[in-house]
Copies of this chain bind each other. A is one copy, B any other.
Amino acid sequence: MKYSSSKENYIKAIYHLEQDEPVVSTNSLARQLSTKPASVTDMLKKLHEQELLEYEPYKGVRLTESGKMLALQIIRKHRLWEFFLVEKLGFGWEEVHEIAEELEHISSRKLIDRLDEFLGKPKTDPHGDPIPDAGGKMPLIERICLLDLPGGVAADLISVSNQSADMLDLLKHYSIEIGTRLEVSNRFQFDHSLQVIVQGNSKVTISEHLATHLFVAYAKDTPGK
């Protein structure tokens, strides 16, 4: 089934708001979408008819299962495109959101699955938010410091707690950037430096000081919603 960009935006907004409020109000939706409550009411009726959400006048809305599924597909597209923009095209974290807002409405399912493949099936986007898999399952992500990552576990770099030029310089030297898969292969007691496998290939050794500033997405395999 194909939905307009506008409808997809409503569904996505409701999904996000449901994380906080159990039932989403007309007003908060209007605020979120920069539109007017009256317009929201109109649209809710249509989305209800399409069984994407439960709606009774004055009672707020809640997504149905198919509504949630649709939301997750859109979020998946959004985050994969963001990853692509940052990792492949060299955009900065901050500038990708707007572009991904457009790209997330491209409909081809095959496209997004191939893109996922091409990008190496990343677990998180450049902001560290988890990317739902093709089935709509959110990977359960714990953000932990590289220092605390158990050995033998590969995880994606999702944030860096220092944005200085010196830091970026050093990361560049190691070919490490947001989204890079890291695995700790050895810990040296003498200076607490770490031997790290970068992207499954090259092994590099980094200082404890650097490691304290690197945070990875530790994806538990328990399926979440």
A residues contacting B by CB (< 8 A) are 85, 88-91, 95, 98-99, 102-103, 106-108, 110-111, 114-115, 117-118
Chain B residue with minimal CB distance to A115? B89
Q: Which 4 pairs of residues, A with B, have the shortest CB-CB distance?
A: A89-B114, A99-B108, A102-B106, A99-B111
CB distance from A211 to the nearest CB of B (A): 31
A118-B85 CB under 8 A given contacts A103-B106, A108-B102: no
Chain B hits for A115, CB < 8 A: 89
The answer for the CA separation of A103 and B106 in the assembled complex, in Å, is: 7
Chain B hits for A99, CB < 8 A: 106, 108, 111
Interface of A, helix, strand, loop or mixed by DSSP:
helix
Chain B residue with minimal CB distance to A89? B114
Instruction: Tell me if B102 and A118 are in contact (CB < 8 A).
Output: no
The answer for the CA separation of A98 and B102 in the assembled complex, in Å, is: 17
Instruction: Tell me if A102 and B107 are in contact (CB < 8 A).
Output: yes
The answer for the CA separation of A85 and B89 in the assembled complex, in Å, is: 15
Chain B hits for A98, CB < 8 A: 108
9 A-B residue pairs with Cβ-Cβ distance under 8 Å, sorted by A, are: A85-B111, A88-B118, A89-B111, A89-B114, A89-B117, A98-B108, A99-B108, A99-B111, A102-B107
User: CB < 8 Å: which of B91, B102, B114, B118 contacts A114?
Assistant: B91
The answer for the CA separation of A102 and B115 in the assembled complex, in Å, is: 16
Chain B residue with minimal CB distance to A85? B111
The answer for the CA separation of A6 and B117 in the assembled complex, in Å, is: 32
The answer for the CA separation of A103 and B102 in the assembled complex, in Å, is: 9
Chain B hits for A107, CB < 8 A: 102
Chain B hits for A110, CB < 8 A: 91, 95
Chain B residue with minimal CB distance to A107? B102
Task: With A89-B117, A89-B118 given, name 11 new contacts (CB 8 A).
Answer: A89-B115, A91-B114, A95-B110, A98-B108, A99-B106, A99-B108, A102-B106, A102-B107, A102-B108, A103-B106, A106-B106
